[in-house]
Amino acid sequence: MFRALLIKEWKQLRTLRWVGLCLGALLPPFLLVVAEAAKRGRLPFGQISDYSVEQLLTTALPFLAAGLWGLLALLFTAQSFAGDRAAGTETFLLERPVPRNRVWWARLVAALGSLLLSIAVHVILWLGLGRLLVGSSGGPPIAALLVLAAGGAVVGLVGFVAGVAAASFVQSPIQAVLLGLILAVVPTGLSVFLAGFSPLAMLGRIPVGVVLPWLFLLPGY
């Protein structure tokens, strides 16, 4: 029964997975187009003298990747946990002789698997594109992309936890995405505030104010 539920949830996220994979594949070309336009002075916000593919893939791409993976985490969880509710089929599903925890775990595994698959495919695509554009002797180093994947995975995990929490309280996926975004931003805002309020409170080299919101809010979610 769990396998059937998991297949159902996995198929339900199929369109979002394809959208996420396409967006990830388009990020590096988008960066190259923007950088080339900025180099030629065709952008209103400034001009750059020069750029390199390796620099773009290891400096600018991580910020866009973190945002993309965080957004995908919210979308996957919202659709998985609130999609049936919005379509009016959740009540019918929960009336079947199926333990509710199996339904919940099937949704969780499908959403988390979709997010991890998207992150893995994106990193592989970007590494291959870097090797293709710069050459076999150049391109972004594997270590840099592994750091990118780790940092993006943390952002995705935050979005995932916030998305699951948000989808437990609202009726539609859109509402779950918006509420999940708020829940994900709250720990970040508190970290910045506490770090500025008590900059000398350190645990080794780690500011205590940065860590505390994540230690309490994420388990609370």
Tell me: the pLDDT tens digits for 16-46? 999 999 998 888 888 878 777 777 766 666 6
Query: What pLDDT was estimated at residue 142?
Result: 64
Query: Could you give the percent of the chain with pLDDT greater than 90?
Result: 21
- At CA 4, angle to CA 173 and CA 107, rounded to 5? 30
Which of the pair, 92 or 3, is modelled with greater confidence?
A: 3
pLDDT in tens, 138-191: 555 566 667 777 777 788 888 899 999 998 888 888 999 999 999 988 888 888
Quick one: pLDDT band at residue 211, thresholds 50, 70, 90?
A: confident
Question: Residue 48: pLDDT above 70?
Answer: no
Question: Residue 201: pLDDT above 80?
Answer: no
Quick one: pLDDT band at residue 8, thresholds 50, 70, 90?
A: confident
pLDDT in tens, 86-139: 877 777 777 777 788 888 898 899 999 999 999 889 888 887 777 776 654 455
If we measure between CA atoms, which residue out of 41, 61, 168 comes closest to residue 122? 61
Neighbouring residues of 50: CB distance < 8 A, sequence distance ≥ 6: 39
Q: What is the distance between the alpha carbons of residues 59 and 31, in angstroms, rounded to a whole number?
A: 11
Q: What is the distance between the alpha carbons of residues 84 and 111, in angstroms, rounded to a whole number?
A: 14
Query: What pLDDT was estimated at residue 77?
Result: 93
